[in-house]
Amino acid sequence: MTPASELRSGKTDRDENFPVASWIIHPRHRALILAFYNFVRTADDIADHALLDAPAKLALLDELEADLLGQGDGQAEAVVLREALQMREMPPRHALDVLTAFRMDVTKLRYADWDELIHYCSFSAMPVGRFMLDVHGESKATWPASDALCAALQINNHLQDCGNDYRDLDRVYIPQDTLDRHGASVEDLKQAKASPALLACIRELVAKTETLMHESETLTVHIADVRLGCDVAVIETFAWQILKMLKLRDPLSEKVHLSKASMAGYALAGIAGGLWRRATTSAPMPRSTTPGA
């Protein structure tokens, strides 16, 4: 059995486009959130590993799941998360959903349309937001807005890294019907500079992602925990800034990531904006419409 920790890429929570268990979050939640993050990061690194074939990746993901469910103790990240969840009497539901996404990363390399991409996000991104809400004891009525925000974050990431995803992993998250509509091809993604057709595809997906962001606007107000609400406001601010960059820059030839310095400034702006919205907005909590909630 290969320890999954030996396959880690070296990427940590400090390298993400969003804060992970930041100082904004109450300290009592941070250990569980970091355990979840380390489990997810380990699974992600397995799915992306350049030297493993598909069967080996799937076998390792199965081991993570088995250990998370208490059927073994070989993978440390799964055991740590399992024990952390047990201490809080929380089920492993969201972690299991994310494993489904990483299996998809191994076996599904193309997406036909926007609906298929959102279906992928329902496993790769939405469970992460739901986990954070559950950790804080929030109402499941917040899930739809959180789902929209998390899908937007995922698609931002896909657009930022579209060239590397294709060149390194043969993965294309830009839907085929979007490529067809603008006369672009998958081969455009391996060029040093994006073609006008590919840029048109990216701009279309940015517009759809902006719609998701608007669908998530009530989330900060409806979250009961003030610290979590501020954390979400920071994440929203980062996401909007990345969307602005994607409108103006070519992700194949230009950097489309926030610098550490700019993230600090946007974080302060996000906290201030989130607190202002909470103080000045009176919005009723939506009824839960989440299937199975």
Residue type, 40: V
Tell me the mean pLDDT in the region 124-152. Answer: 97
In the chain, what are the domain boundaries?
26-107, 110-280
The band of 245, judged by pLDDT with boundaries at 50, 70 and 90, is very high
Average pLDDT, the chain: 90
> Which is higher by pLDDT, 112 or 26?
112
**Which candidate, 29, 79, 87, places its Cα nearest to that of 231?**
29
Tokens of 170: 């043969």
Question: Whose CA is closest to 98, among 158, 137, 41, 146?
Answer: 41
pLDDT, one tens digit per residue, over 144-178 is 999 999 999 999 999 999 999 999 999 999 999 99
d(CA 228, CA 240): 18
Residues 1 and 59: their CA atoms lie apart, in Å, by 10
The answer to whether residue 23 scores a pLDDT higher than 80 is no
Encoded tokens for 94: 């969201």
Q: Read out DSSP for 166-220?
A: HHHH----S-HHHHHHTT--GGGGGSSS--HHHHHHHHHHHHHHHHHHHHTTTHH
Place of tokens 């080996």: 56
User: Tokens at residue 240, please?
Assistant: 């909007």
* 278-288 tens-digit pLDDT: 888 766 555 54
CATH topology for 110-280 is Farnesyl Diphosphate Synthase (1.10.600)
156 and 17 in contact (C-beta within 8 Å)?
A: yes
CA distance 152 to 209: 5
